[in-house]
Amino acid sequence: MPRQPSLDSLRTTLQRLSLKQKQEVYAWLGEAIAAEAQGAIELPQQSGSAAIEQRHYEGKLYQLEKRRCNKAGCRCMTGAVAEAGHGPYWYAYWKEQKKVRSQYVGKRPPWNRDSSQ
Protein backbone atom coordinates (compact mmCIF):
# COMPACT_ATOMS: atom_id res chain seq x y z
CA MET A 1 0.00 0.00 0.00
CA PRO A 2 1.34 3.47 -0.85
CA ARG A 3 1.67 5.96 1.99
CA GLN A 4 -1.54 7.90 2.48
CA PRO A 5 -1.31 11.56 1.47
CA SER A 6 -2.40 14.11 4.05
CA LEU A 7 -5.93 15.40 3.62
CA ASP A 8 -4.64 18.98 3.74
CA SER A 9 -2.34 18.57 0.77
CA LEU A 10 -5.03 16.63 -1.04
CA ARG A 11 -7.52 19.42 -0.46
CA THR A 12 -5.04 22.00 -1.74
CA THR A 13 -4.52 19.94 -4.89
CA LEU A 14 -8.24 19.39 -5.42
CA GLN A 15 -8.97 23.11 -5.12
CA ARG A 16 -6.76 23.73 -8.15
CA LEU A 17 -8.88 21.49 -10.38
CA SER A 18 -11.39 22.87 -12.86
CA LEU A 19 -15.09 22.40 -12.17
CA LYS A 20 -15.22 19.56 -14.70
CA GLN A 21 -12.26 17.81 -13.06
CA LYS A 22 -13.86 18.23 -9.64
CA GLN A 23 -17.04 16.65 -10.97
CA GLU A 24 -15.04 13.74 -12.36
CA VAL A 25 -13.24 13.23 -9.05
CA TYR A 26 -16.57 13.43 -7.22
CA ALA A 27 -18.17 10.78 -9.45
CA TRP A 28 -15.13 8.53 -9.27
CA LEU A 29 -14.95 8.86 -5.49
CA GLY A 30 -18.62 7.93 -5.16
CA GLU A 31 -17.96 4.73 -7.13
CA ALA A 32 -14.82 3.92 -5.19
CA ILE A 33 -16.59 4.40 -1.84
CA ALA A 34 -19.56 2.27 -2.91
CA ALA A 35 -17.27 -0.51 -4.09
CA GLU A 36 -15.11 -0.44 -0.98
CA ALA A 37 -18.11 -0.36 1.35
CA GLN A 38 -19.49 -3.44 -0.38
CA GLY A 39 -16.32 -5.34 0.47
CA ALA A 40 -13.13 -5.85 -1.39
CA ILE A 41 -13.29 -8.30 -4.24
CA GLU A 42 -10.58 -10.91 -3.93
CA LEU A 43 -9.63 -11.90 -7.42
CA PRO A 44 -8.38 -15.44 -7.88
CA GLN A 45 -4.71 -15.62 -8.79
CA GLN A 46 -4.63 -16.39 -12.50
CA SER A 47 -1.34 -17.38 -14.06
CA GLY A 48 -2.83 -17.14 -17.55
CA SER A 49 -3.62 -13.45 -17.29
CA ALA A 50 -1.91 -10.17 -16.51
CA ALA A 51 -3.75 -7.21 -15.03
CA ILE A 52 -2.88 -3.85 -16.55
CA GLU A 53 -5.39 -1.50 -14.95
CA GLN A 54 -8.22 -1.60 -12.42
CA ARG A 55 -11.18 0.68 -11.92
CA HIS A 56 -14.36 0.66 -9.85
CA TYR A 57 -17.51 1.54 -11.74
CA GLU A 58 -21.17 1.11 -10.78
CA GLY A 59 -20.38 -1.28 -7.97
CA LYS A 60 -18.15 -3.54 -10.05
CA LEU A 61 -14.45 -3.92 -10.31
CA TYR A 62 -13.20 -3.62 -13.88
CA GLN A 63 -9.84 -4.99 -14.79
CA LEU A 64 -7.96 -4.56 -18.04
CA GLU A 65 -6.22 -7.87 -18.72
CA LYS A 66 -4.10 -9.67 -21.21
CA ARG A 67 -4.89 -13.38 -21.26
CA ARG A 68 -3.73 -16.65 -22.68
CA CYS A 69 -6.31 -18.65 -24.63
CA ASN A 70 -4.64 -21.96 -23.73
CA LYS A 71 -4.73 -23.25 -27.31
CA ALA A 72 -1.66 -25.26 -28.13
CA GLY A 73 0.59 -23.48 -30.60
CA CYS A 74 -1.02 -20.06 -30.18
CA ARG A 75 1.43 -17.18 -30.02
CA CYS A 76 0.04 -16.21 -26.63
CA MET A 77 1.40 -19.40 -25.07
CA THR A 78 5.04 -18.40 -25.41
CA GLY A 79 6.70 -15.62 -23.46
CA ALA A 80 5.26 -13.48 -20.69
CA VAL A 81 1.48 -13.21 -20.68
CA ALA A 82 1.74 -9.43 -20.20
CA GLU A 83 3.54 -9.29 -23.57
CA ALA A 84 2.13 -12.15 -25.59
CA GLY A 85 -1.38 -12.46 -24.14
CA HIS A 86 -4.50 -11.54 -26.11
CA GLY A 87 -6.02 -8.16 -25.53
CA PRO A 88 -5.93 -6.16 -23.45
CA TYR A 89 -9.64 -6.52 -22.79
CA TRP A 90 -11.76 -5.37 -19.88
CA TYR A 91 -13.35 -7.88 -17.52
CA ALA A 92 -15.92 -7.03 -14.86
CA TYR A 93 -15.89 -8.61 -11.39
CA TRP A 94 -18.57 -8.34 -8.74
CA LYS A 95 -19.91 -10.19 -5.74
CA GLU A 96 -23.15 -12.15 -5.74
CA GLN A 97 -24.07 -14.10 -2.61
CA LYS A 98 -20.44 -13.85 -1.51
CA LYS A 99 -19.25 -15.41 -4.76
CA VAL A 100 -17.08 -13.48 -7.16
CA ARG A 101 -18.63 -13.40 -10.62
CA SER A 102 -16.85 -12.23 -13.72
CA GLN A 103 -17.83 -11.18 -17.19
CA TYR A 104 -15.95 -10.38 -20.37
CA VAL A 105 -16.51 -6.74 -21.29
CA GLY A 106 -14.29 -6.15 -24.32
CA LYS A 107 -12.11 -3.35 -25.56
CA ARG A 108 -14.41 -0.55 -24.51
CA PRO A 109 -15.25 -0.11 -20.83
CA PRO A 110 -18.81 1.03 -19.92
CA TRP A 111 -17.70 4.50 -18.86
CA ASN A 112 -16.54 5.13 -22.44
CA ARG A 113 -19.62 3.67 -24.08
CA ASP A 114 -21.42 6.94 -24.68
CA SER A 115 -18.38 8.81 -25.96
CA SER A 116 -18.00 9.06 -29.70
CA GLN A 117 -14.47 7.62 -29.92
Helix (H) or strand (E) holding 18: none
Contact yes or no for 54/62 (Cβ under 8 A): yes
Q: How far is CA 27 from CA 8, 15, 33, 37, in A?
A: 21, 16, 10, 16
# of chain residues touching Zn ion (CB under 5 A): 3
74 near Zn ion (CB under 5 A): yes
Comparing CB distances to Zn ion, the nearer of 27 and 69 is 69
Q: How far is CA 22 from CA 13, 16, 112, in A?
A: 11, 9, 19
Q: How far is the CB of 70 from Zn ion (least distance, A)?
A: 7
Q: How far is the CB of 43 from Zn ion (least distance, A)?
A: 21
Member of 50, 64, 76, 81 binding Zn ion (CB under 5 A): 76
Q: How far is the CB of 81 from Zn ion (least distance, A)?
A: 10
Q: Which residues bind Zn ion (CB under 5 A)?
A: 69, 74, 76
